[in-house]
Amino acid sequence: MNALEIDDVTVRYRRELAVDGVSLAVPQGRTVGLVGESGSGKSSIANAVVGLVRPASGDIRVGGASVVGRGAAVTQARRRTQLIFQDPFSALDPLMPVGASIAEATRATGRRWSREAKAARVRELLGQVHIDPARADELPAAFSGGQRQRITIARALAGEPSVLIADEVTSALDVSVQGAVLNLLRELQRDLGLSILFISHNLAVVRYISDEICVMRHGRIVEAGETEALLRDPADGYTRELLRAVPVLGRRMEFEDA
C-alpha cells in the first residue's frame, strides 16, 4: 500500500517547466529520498503535494485519495500531509510563542480541540521532539537552530499526518545538529509509522535516511531504486557524476575529468 502516489505530475511556472511528468510512490512506513540539484524540481514536487502549487497535469494521491484541485474531499486528504522547511529561522513566526505555532497547526487535523486538550497535545509533541514542554511559551528567538528545526517538526506532527515531506531540512544546520535531526526523524518514523518523502541535495544524508532513492534532474526522474542497490550500481551517467562529486573524508579529490 502506498501512502503517497505521485502520478505523471507536471508543474509549470508560467512558461517554465519545473516538473516534467514525474511519477513516484512512497510506500506506507518507508522513507523515499529525492535527490537532485537546485532547480531540478524537487521543491516543486513538495509544494504540489501539500497544495501550495497546483500541477498542470497528473494526479497526486495520499492514502488513495486525490489531493489535486478543490473540494472537501481534497482538503480532507491534503491534511494527511505536512511539510517541514529548510530554514528553521524563517519557518517560525518570530512573534508567536512556539507552543502557539504548534497549537495553530492542530487545525489541520480537522477536529475541534478544547483549550486543555490543545495545551496537552502541545506538551506531548514538544516532549516527542525532545524539547522541554515547559518552554512552550517562549519565542523562537530563545531556541537554537537545531531546536527550532525540531519545533517545526513538532508543528508538522500536530497535523497528525500520515506523510511527512521534509524539504532540505538539514541543509541550514551545523553537522552536529544535523545528526540529531536525522535521528529524530528516524525515531518518529519508527514510533508513529510515518511515511516520509525526504528531499535533499546531499547524497550522503539521503543515503543514510532513505529506504529508496529517486534521482532527479531537469524536472525528470533519471533513476530510482532501493538505496543500496542504486548506489552500488548506478545506471545513469548523472547519478555516477553525483556520486563522484561527494567529498570523502581523508581522500584527496581528483579533478582530472572535472
**242 touching other proteins, by CB under 8 A:** yes
The residue written with cell numbers 535533499 in the block is 200
Residues 48-87 touching other proteins, rule: CB under 8 A, are 50-52, 75, 79, 82-83, 85-87
**Of 71 and 247, CB closest to other proteins:** 247
Please select the residue that binds other proteins; options are 92, 122, 166, 199, rule is CB under 8 A: 92
Please select the residue that binds other proteins; options are 26, 48, 199, 203, rule is CB under 8 A: 203
Size of the site for other proteins (CB under 8 A): 71
Cβ atoms 185, 178 nearer than 8 A:
no
Please select the residue that binds other proteins; options are 147, 162, 189, 195, rule is CB under 8 A: 147
Sheet holding 57-62, edge to edge: 16-27, 2-13, 57-62, 65-66
**Of 54 and 107, CB closest to other proteins:** 107
The residue written with cell numbers 551545523 in the block is 174
Q: Residue 185 half-sphere exposure, CB side, CA atoms within 13 Å?
A: 34
Please select the residue that binds other proteins; options are 201, 220, 225, 236, rule is CB under 8 A: 201
**Of 51 and 99, CB closest to other proteins:** 51
Cβ atoms 233, 241 nearer than 8 A:
no
- From the CB of 74, what's the least distance to other proteins, in Å? 12
Cβ atoms 210, 33 nearer than 8 A:
yes
Window contacting other proteins (CB under 8 A); options: 8-16, 22-30, 61-69, 99-107: 99-107
Residues 101-140 touching other proteins, rule: CB under 8 A, are 101, 104-105, 107-108, 110, 130, 139
Cβ atoms 35, 10 nearer than 8 A:
no
Distance in angstroms (rounded) separating the CA atoms of residues 146 and 180? 8
- From the CB of 66, what's the least distance to other proteins, in Å? 17
Cβ atoms 197, 32 nearer than 8 A:
yes
| CA-closest candidate to residue 173, choices 87, 59, 62 | 87
Window contacting other proteins (CB under 8 A); options: 9-17, 55-63, 114-122, 242-250: 242-250
Q: Contact letters (x/-) for other proteins, 12-41, by CB under 8 A? A: -------------------------xx---
Q: Which three cell numbers stand for residue 220?
A: 525528470
